[in-house]
Amino acid sequence: MSGMEIERKFLVRGDDYKRQARSSSRIKQGYIASGHGRTVRVRLRDDKAYLTIKGPSLDGGLSRYEFEKEITVDEALSLLRLCEPGIIDKTRYLVDCGNHTFEVDEFYGDNEGLVMAEVELSAPDEPYEKPDFIGGEVTGDHRFYNSHLRQNPYKKWKDEL
């Protein structure tokens, strides 16, 4: 898959998303390179693995170019050894709402207590329904980027919110 990724990110209130989820999966991911808004990520999701390259955002974090390719689990395990320090560990819940699916991530480790949702859109101004568990929007706030959370985890700054 490649093309423009357009998404909005939100904090999540409560845990109703778990009851509403149609599925969940465990994700572990590392970053081979990250900086200047660009990332090269390796992800293990249940029994599948992916290599993803993302470009910088030119519109405040709402959209950016993304290239993703499925790789073998063995390749991912080898590539994870090359990653920068800090692995992201989370469970992703898929929650349908209206015509969209919200991906809700519950983080573990140094990011324990952080729960975020994102919804992918086909256009920046595409209308969408919000589930009742959606809190404040954090689209474009670099503190909530996974590549940032690995080096500056939630536990260090959560009291500032």
| Contact criterion met (CB below 8 Å) for 144 and 138 | yes
Query: Phi/psi class of residue 146: alpha, beta or left (left: φ > 0; alpha: ψ in -120 to 50)?
Result: alpha
| Residue among 115, 116, 108, 92 nearest 150 (CA) | 108
CB 34 within 8 Å of CB 84: yes
pTM: 0.95
**Residue 128 bears catalytic tag:** no
Q: Pick the catalytic residue: 17, 31, 93, 145?
A: 31
Q: How do the pLDDT tens digits run along the chain, 161 residues long?
A: 678 999 999 999 999 999 999 999 999 999 999 999 999 999 999 999 999 999 999 899 999 999 999 999 999 999 999 999 999 999 999 999 999 999 999 999 999 999 999 999 999 999 999 999 999 999 999 999 999 999 999 999 999 98
- Based on its alpha-carbon atoms, the radius of gyration of the chain, rounded to whole angstroms, reads 15
